[in-house]
Amino acid sequence: MKPVLDPASGSRMFYFDREDERVLFGDIRSEEHVLCDGRALSITPDVVMDFRHLPFDDGAFKVVVFDPPHLSNVGEKAWMGKKYGRLGPQWRDDLRAGFAECFRVLEPYGVLIFKWNETQIPVSQVLALTDEKPLIGHKSGKQMNTHWVTFMKSGKEDDVGA
């Protein structure tokens, strides 16, 4: 098993090496598109998976990178939706389940790196969907709308899968 899981990797945009052998790349989509500027967009996960129901044992990973879709208001054919994915009307339930699954598959003291762009939904509303306590965070981008938040799972053995 690889030590890092990215269950919503999309086109792996922020990776230095989009084929990094340490990472198990997952996504609910496997598709190819040509964007409005003519560039190819390839979403080719190692494993097709739903971050709400991860097919892994408790404590299976040292690191989880969680970058779920952040757009709730985007058209079916819009390039932004193709590039970043889209949230459904039940996005709170979906993200709550995603956080729970990501923490479940982390080993004790494992690290969860969470990325969120709050163009449509404030990061405070999203962080409220988990009881886990963030460790550090950083805003980035021209508008300072992208948040990188790092969590560390509890080291208590009885917390594995909790």
Per domain, the residue ranges of the chain are 4-159
**Averaged confidence pLDDT in the chain:** 92
Q: Does domain 4-159 have CATH number 2.30.40.10?
A: no
pLDDT at residue number 90: 96
The stretch 112-132 carries a mean pLDDT of 96
Place 144 in a pLDDT band, splitting at 50, 70 and 90.
confident
The CA-CA-CA angle for residues 91, 92, 98, to 5°, reads 85
Place 10 in a pLDDT band, splitting at 50, 70 and 90.
very high
pLDDT at residue number 87: 93
34 pLDDT above the threshold of 90: no
**Where are any strands of DSSP class E within the chain?**
4-6, 23-27, 31-34, 40-43, 47-48, 61-66, 106-117, 134-140, 146-152
pTM of the full predicted structure?
Answer: 0.90
pLDDT at residue number 158: 55
Place 85 in a pLDDT band, splitting at 50, 70 and 90.
confident
pLDDT at residue number 127: 97
Place 55 in a pLDDT band, splitting at 50, 70 and 90.
very high
Residue 52 in tokens = 């709400």
148 pLDDT above the threshold of 70: yes
CB-CB contact of 83 with 39 (8 Å)? no
162 pLDDT above the threshold of 60: no
160 pLDDT above the threshold of 70: no
Place 108 in a pLDDT band, splitting at 50, 70 and 90.
very high
pLDDT at residue number 40: 85
